[in-house]
Amino acid sequence: MAAFGFSAEDFEVEVEVWPDCWASFECFAAMQTQWRTGMAGATGLDYVALEPVMRLQGIPKAERIHTFEDIRTMEMAALEVMQVKRER
């Protein structure tokens, strides 16, 4: 965590997840080890791993496009937070 500018306190945040977003949130959380990183830190999720994770999470095929869109929204928000942490 420290290599990316995080501490344990950075993860002690309470968030509300709406029920209709819960499956997308769980899928995003399951992707936590799939960040692509470089010299400037995280650049995004490794989408190659996303479809297998969706299958393992039981996301129906009909919902995968919507789930992907939700995950991209969470990914962009996470990248913004990581950028702010790096700038401190």
Give 10-residue mean pLDDT values along the chain (88 residues). Answer: 72 81 95 92 95 97 97 95 78
Domain assignment present for residue 4? The answer is no
- Confirm if 79 and 71 have CB atoms less than 8 A apart: no
pLDDT of 45 reads: 97
Whether 1 maps to a domain, the answer reads no
**What residue has token string 């299958």?**
55
- pLDDT confidence of residue 84: 79
- Indicate whether 6 belongs to any domain: no
Domain that residue 41 falls in: 17-87
Angle at 50 between CA 47 and CA 54, to 5 degrees: 160
Number of domains in the chain: 1
* 7 within some domain: no
Residue 2 maps to a domain: no
Q: Model pTM greater than 0.85?
A: no
- Position 11 in a domain: no
